[in-house]
Amino acid sequence: MTVSEMAKELSLTAVSGADGERNVSGVYVGDLLSWVMGRAQSGNVWITIMSNINIVAVASLADVSCVVLAEGVVPDEGVCKTAEQKGVNIFTTEKTAYQIAKELADLSL
């Protein structure tokens, strides 16, 4: 499943849609950046409530397929712009991390 297909299924809002054709595999949930960096796998959907600029570098270097900001968290414009430049997909949603994770599990991710 691609990032775009996954986002459509979950009704996520794209704030940086850099590479929607990328395939997603697995899910990681976490807010401590070094923890995420060390444990998330390449291709994962990363669910977090952390929205500062550093998530762009972490997402890029850990090579996750996209970032999903849960619970209505919205990044500022600079974050979105940088993410577009670095090829990092970011989505927002009002749903909780649990709800998103459950819906992704229902999609067999």
Partner 1 sequence: MNEAVKLHFLVDGEDFTSAGQASVQVKKSLRELGIAPEIIRKVSIAMYEGEINMVIHAGGGEADVLIYEDRIEIHLNDNGPGIANIDLAMQEGFSTAPDNIRSLGFGAGMGLPNMKRYSDSIQIDSALGKGTRILMVVQL
Q: Which residues bind partner 1 (CB under 8 A)?
A: 31-35, 37-38, 42, 50, 52-55, 57-58, 60-63, 78, 86
> In this complex, which beta carbon is closest to partner 1, that of residue 13 or of residue 54?
54
Q: Quote the least distance from Cβ 77 to partner 1, whole Å.
A: 13
Closer residue to partner 1, CB minimum distance, 11 or 54: 54
Residue recorded with tokens 């550093």: 54
Per DSSP, helices labelled H in 12-96 are: 33-39, 54-62, 77-86
In the structure encoding, which two tokens stand for residue 72, read together? 């209505």
Angle between helices 77-86 and 54-62 (to 10 degrees): 20
Least separation, in Å, of the C-beta of 87 and partner 1?
A: 10
